[in-house]
């Protein structure tokens, strides 16, 4: 199957307990099935400037915002394949564009030591790097993900993320997913990826379980936790 490189959708996020998750999974059983990559261990390197320009602007909730990251599904060696992603959000619609390349070349391109592929997405990434000038891997962020797709509408996807952790050292995708936890034990982040609104059956079970949409951002939560730990003089890693 050809890897998808361009996405346009709404991404609705919900924080819930494991008990609530089980109720949602029961409701999903009649409408959804595990997708092709039903479980994955996702590792990310979020790119930012030394003064955290991108995430600070994102947290201000502007009409338009963007993030850059390098992502792998599982451990990626120095020459292992990774995705370099440019994720934009405009008026609640998420636009994601990504390109696959070896990790070592991706990091060289981000550092300005190599040329981006001569493609539309490659040129967009080159422009973003030139625009921000001082981008570097700021945070490693990982989580375990279970993914589902709709039986009738394969473009309707639901993911559950657990064990969400971040750190500011050992910034490589060729490493174990250790770090400081972002959610309390027993909590899960659900994301519904839709072209429009939620199916009625999903809206119903969320309402019955008292689960409400949230604006939770993994990198945003990591940044806020990092800043809070620094102000309190706490240890930043767990």
Structure tokens at 128: 């973003």
pLDDT of residue 196: 83
- In the chain, the domains with their CATH numbers are 6-232 (3.20.100.30)
Q: What is the pTM of this model?
A: 0.89
pLDDT of residue 167: 96
Is 60 exposed, middle or buried (CB count within 10 Å of its CB: 0-12, 13-18, 19+)?
exposed
pLDDT of residue 237: 32
221 phi/psi in degrees, rounded to 5? -65, -40
CB 216 within 8 A of CB 15: yes
Q: How far apart are CA 114 and CA 103, in angstroms?
A: 12
pLDDT of residue 3: 65
| Residue among 26, 28, 85, 93 at smallest CA distance from 65 | 93
pLDDT of the chain, 238 residues: tens digit per residue: 456 677 788 899 999 999 999 999 999 999 999 998 899 999 999 999 999 999 999 999 999 999 999 999 999 988 899 999 999 999 889 999 999 999 999 999 999 999 999 999 999 999 999 999 999 999 999 999 999 999 999 889 999 999 999 999 999 999 889 999 999 999 999 999 998 889 999 999 999 999 999 999 999 999 999 998 544 444 333 3
- CB atoms near residue 212 (< 10 Å): 10
pLDDT of residue 1: 44
Q: How far apart are CA 162 and CA 148, in angstroms?
A: 15
Label the pairing between strands 32-48 and 136-150.
antiparallel
pLDDT of residue 83: 97
């Amino acid at each position: 199957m050809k890897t998808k490189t361009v996405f346009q959708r709404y991404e609705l996020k919900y924080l819930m307990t494991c008990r609530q998750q089980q109720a949602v999974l029961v409701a999903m059983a009649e409408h959804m099935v595990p997708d092709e990559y039903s479980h994955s261990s996702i590792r990310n390197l979020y790119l930012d400037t030394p003064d955290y320009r991108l995430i600070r602007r994102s947290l201000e909730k502007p009409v338009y915002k963007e993030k850059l990251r390098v992502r792998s599904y599982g451990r990626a060696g120095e020459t292992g394949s990774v995705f370099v992603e440019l994720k934009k959000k405009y008026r609640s619609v998420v636009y994601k564009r990504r390109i696959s390349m070896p990790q070592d070349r991706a990091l060289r391109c981000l550092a300005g030591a190599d040329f981006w592929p001569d493609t539309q997405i490659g040129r967009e990434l080159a422009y973003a790097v030139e625009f921000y000038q001082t981008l570097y891997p700021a945070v490693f962020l990982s989580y375990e993900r279970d993914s589902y797709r709709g039986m009738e509408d394969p473009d309707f996807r639901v993911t559950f993320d657990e064990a969400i952790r971040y750190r500011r050292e050992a910034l490589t995708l060729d490493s174990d997913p250790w770090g400081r936890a972002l959610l309390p034990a027993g909590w899960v982040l659900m994301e519904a990826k839709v072209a429009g609104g939620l199916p009625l059956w999903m809206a119903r079970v969320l309402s019955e379980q008292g689960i409400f949409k949230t604006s939770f951002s993994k990198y945003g939560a990591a940044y806020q936790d990092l800043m809070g730990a620094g102000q309190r003089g706490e240890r930043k890693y767990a």
